[in-house]
Amino acid sequence: MIRMKSSLLLVPLFTFTLIACAPEDSAQNTAPAPAAPAPQVTTQMVPAPAESGTDSVAGLVWTVPSVWEKQAQRPMRAATYGTPPAEGDSESGEVAVFYFGPQEGGTVDANVNRWFNQFDQEDGRPTSEVAELETIEVDGMRVTLVRTSGTYNAAAGPMAPRADLRPGYRLIGAIAEGPEGAVFFKFTGPDRAVLEQEANFGLLVDSIRRN
């Protein structure tokens, strides 16, 4: 009986000796690693790019560049858009859309010549001699493109006197011969403002579709 009790006493003594002799870093190595900090959730919202809108008239629909601002309705116009000024300038450009009705408003050539006559050249030459004119096809429709620059007569109306002359101006125009008649897109403004938005005007023209 004494021999059995001695064995029982040696077991806990041996266990205590192992624990007491264990190095301190051993206890640290066996401790669970601290949990990684949870990732912070960003609450700042990134604004989405502005979407382009659409407009339509006379059986045609087109996409309006998102950087253009649609203006209030005006007489004789289907739509008017203001375009951004060039960097360092204060004057913006304007895109006016006209539709006069089926077989109304004159021929394409007559309107092109009217646009040419609204510009004067420094050397006195007719604008028709320096302007660019081409015809393309968009969605099966004929579209006439016009480009010119010079001193622009910005007076309202085709018969208005040459009282509001603006040097250093540019025009890019497009006449789309749609199913219900011609639709006129006339982009005018300071030279740099128009040139910087010429690509957007081209995108508008390319987007014209039958509605």
Give the chain's mean pLDDT.
81
**What CA–CA distance (Å, rounded) separates 144 from 174?**
5
Residue 201 burial class via C-beta count within 10 angstroms: exposed 0-12, middle 13-18, buried 19 and up: buried
Residues near 207 by Cβ (< 8 Å), separated by ≥ 6? 62, 63
Mean pLDDT of 68-78: 95
Is residue 49 pLDDT above 60, yes or no? Answer: no
**What CA–CA distance (Å, rounded) separates 12 from 145?**
102
Residues near 52 by Cβ (< 8 Å), separated by ≥ 6? 63, 64, 65, 66
Opening angle at CA 167, ends 124 and 202, nearest 5: 100
Q: Residue 61, Cα to own-chain centre: how many angstroms?
A: 18
Beta carbons of 148 and 131 less than 8 angstroms apart: yes
Secondary structure (H, E, C), 7-59: HHHHHHHHHHHHHHHCCHHHHHHHCCCCCCCCCCCCCCCCCCCCCCEEEEECC
pLDDT at 156: 55
pLDDT at 39: 41
Domains of the chain, CATH where assigned: 53-210 (3.40.1000.10)
pLDDT at 202: 98
Which residues are bridge partners to 178 per DSSP?
181
Residue 143 CB neighbour total at 10 angstroms = 22
Percent share of the chain, pLDDT over 90: 67
pLDDT digits (tens, 9 = 90+) for 114-134: 999 999 999 999 999 999 999
Is residue 23 pLDDT above 80, yes or no? Answer: no
CA dist 205 → 4, 43, 136, 139, 176 (Å): 105, 40, 10, 10, 9
Mean pLDDT of 152-179: 85
Is residue 86 pLDDT above 70, yes or no? Answer: yes
pLDDT at 158: 55
Q: Please tell me the pTM assigned to this model.
A: 0.73
pLDDT digits (tens, 9 = 90+) for 4-21: 333 333 333 333 333 333
pLDDT at 159: 60
